[in-house]
Chains A and B, each alone.
Chain A
């Protein structure tokens, strides 16, 4: 079979068509996003008002399916959850419009991006009387300074997880443990996260800078600090840092609090492990609930948010996913081990002022990625 069209010609044709389609689509897409974004009017709802079923767009295993079902049963509607695996996967779906979702759960910096793009509705706080349960520690975050669009859902820290059975109790609660001379004592048994903002952020904190620094010379210093300890590292690993620690391959790991804590409890001797945020500080991340600009059922969304802000519901949420609750009415009911972990002064060594949320640095994000790539060598 001989075709008159050569393969290259065919590919060229295909590329031309793709380009034309993409141009057309992006032209439509941007005008669409812009219009609808600026149109996002504040919701106006009564407490407990319903205007349809609830469609929740959330991270996997972040709420007990039975708790969601209980909400539906209590209000006589259907509540469904769909999952996403990253903030970046969620953003295009919501920003394109007609996503069909009523409540989304983005992380701190993504809250700012969603607000700036006009992809979320201002909330009607009159319909959220339970918002008064939120601890002042979580009010007016940097990414939503006037608290108009977001309500905190769950939170956690990034810090160091250590095997105290292996390294004892007599060690500095400091980033020196991984970046200082001390690190050589544990050469080959330390892991750092493989995440530009978290890994570079830890080094920035160790140097006394903000982890949202947009100063290139500070970033260079952080890069050199990481490069300096590279020989002491077992790996740059995000996905299985906690598993490496509890299987004994590492003794010190930069880790997320919730994941590390859950992993400790899976072992035979949870007391052999400890998690802390070094005295110089670290990351505190907060995921928030927001309502997309074109949510089909904004009042059901408000009813759901208010319901989840109830003390008992907040307790149930944390006892299931084992992350921190921003709800001060929920603390009392928490499982003893979880409550001890969340409130222990040994965990947050430098106090609340030492932790920061990761903020969107815009174009400077690339500098963070480059710095990590260079640091890894």
Chain B
């Protein structure tokens, strides 16, 4: 790849067209979000009809126990499933990228399954799996079954992201470390891990978002008392959408933006050490 400095910047009309294009892309991405935010302050039950400024929907959100409960459930599930999936996904990526072993190709293909198959197929498989398991063990569906299902699809996404990062890093750096008498663990801890950290963080953010987002799989494996936020919001649509949904979305949007900003900040602080 050529160094960035070698690419000549387009001139004249091309330059303006490209600039226009990138602005259009931004509008396409962010206009719906801006509209969502604006209407969360609208004093009209109908989404899309402006009725004056109000903070009522945020107050409703703060007073709505079922929605707050669903949000808490979603966050708990997302945190636990992300942590486990990041560890397992990173290990899988390391194994596939750094070692050769029997059955590696099969494992490789298997790891892509949750990405390839449609959500609903995975959901039905999970449902039948837990139904079968219930023949042998006694358990109640809920937190455990949802977390296991989310880990199952998140491992694949994490390992794909981490592998991309691993493939881009030079294996010889580890060899050099070991030449200098670093143990395998030290080479991993002080050379490999810092190198793939951005990949791990990226994978974690992706896993967190996917877990927080999932409707199809979650609603098939949920149990008593374990409504997640997206499943609950879907249910609310039957009674008509109010700006309460906008308010909930804005809160989640702000929270996830802060999360991303925080992870970038941590990374930057590390690299300037």
Main secondary structure of the interface of B (DSSP, over half): helix
- B222 in the interface, Cβ–Cβ < 8 Å? yes
Please report the C-alpha to C-alpha distance between residue A5 and residue B107 in the assembled complex, in whole angstroms: 12
Q: Is the CB of B227 within 8 A of A98?
A: no
Which B residues lie within 8 Å of A96 (CB)?
127-128, 130-131
Please report the C-alpha to C-alpha distance between residue A242 and residue B238 in the assembled complex, in whole angstroms: 12
Contact among A14, A32, A97 for B116, CB-based, below 8 A:
A14
Contact among A10, A11, A29, A85 for B131, CB-based, below 8 A:
A29
Q: List 13 A-B contacts (CB under 8 A).
A: A13-B106, A17-B109, A17-B113, A25-B128, A59-B235, A82-B225, A85-B234, A89-B219, A96-B128, A97-B131, A240-B240, A242-B240, A259-B239
Partner-binding segment picked from B117-125, B201-209, B257-265 = B117-125
Chain B contact residues, CB within 8 Å of chain A:
45-46, 49, 65-66, 105-106, 108-110, 112-113, 116-117, 121, 124-125, 127-132, 134-135, 139-142, 167, 219-220, 222-227, 231-232, 234-241
Distance (whole angstroms) from the CB of A108 to the closest CB of chain B: 16
Which A residues lie within 8 Å of B239 (CB)?
60-61, 259, 262
Given the known interface contacts A14-B117, A17-B113, A83-B231, the answer about A60 and B238 at a Cβ–Cβ threshold of 8 Å is yes
Q: Is the CB of B167 within 8 A of A82?
A: no
Which B residues lie within 8 Å of A217 (CB)?
none
Which A residues lie within 8 Å of B130 (CB)?
96, 98
- A49 in the interface, Cβ–Cβ < 8 Å? no
Query: How many chain A residues have a CB neighbour from B under 8 Å?
Result: 49
Q: Is the CB of B237 within 8 A of A85?
A: yes
Q: Is the CB of B121 within 8 A of A22?
A: yes
Closest residue to B110 on the A side, CB-wise?
Answer: A17
Q: Is the CB of B225 within 8 A of A29?
A: no
Which B residues lie within 8 Å of A14 (CB)?
109-110, 112-113, 116-117
Distance (whole angstroms) from the CB of A65 to the closest CB of chain B: 6
Distance (whole angstroms) from the CB of B43 to the closest CB of chain A: 12
Q: Is the CB of B224 within 8 A of A85?
A: no
Contact among B116, B132, B140, B219 for A25, CB-based, below 8 A:
B132
Q: Is the CB of A61 within 8 A of B132?
A: no
Which B residues lie within 8 Å of A259 (CB)?
239-240
Q: Is the CB of A5 within 8 A of B235?
A: no
Which residues of A (257-316) have their CB < 8 Å from a CB of B? Answer: 259, 262-263, 266, 296
* Besides A61-B235, A239-B240, 6 new A-B residue pairs in contact (Cβ under 8 A), listed by A number: A21-B125, A55-B224, A61-B66, A83-B66, A100-B140, A240-B240
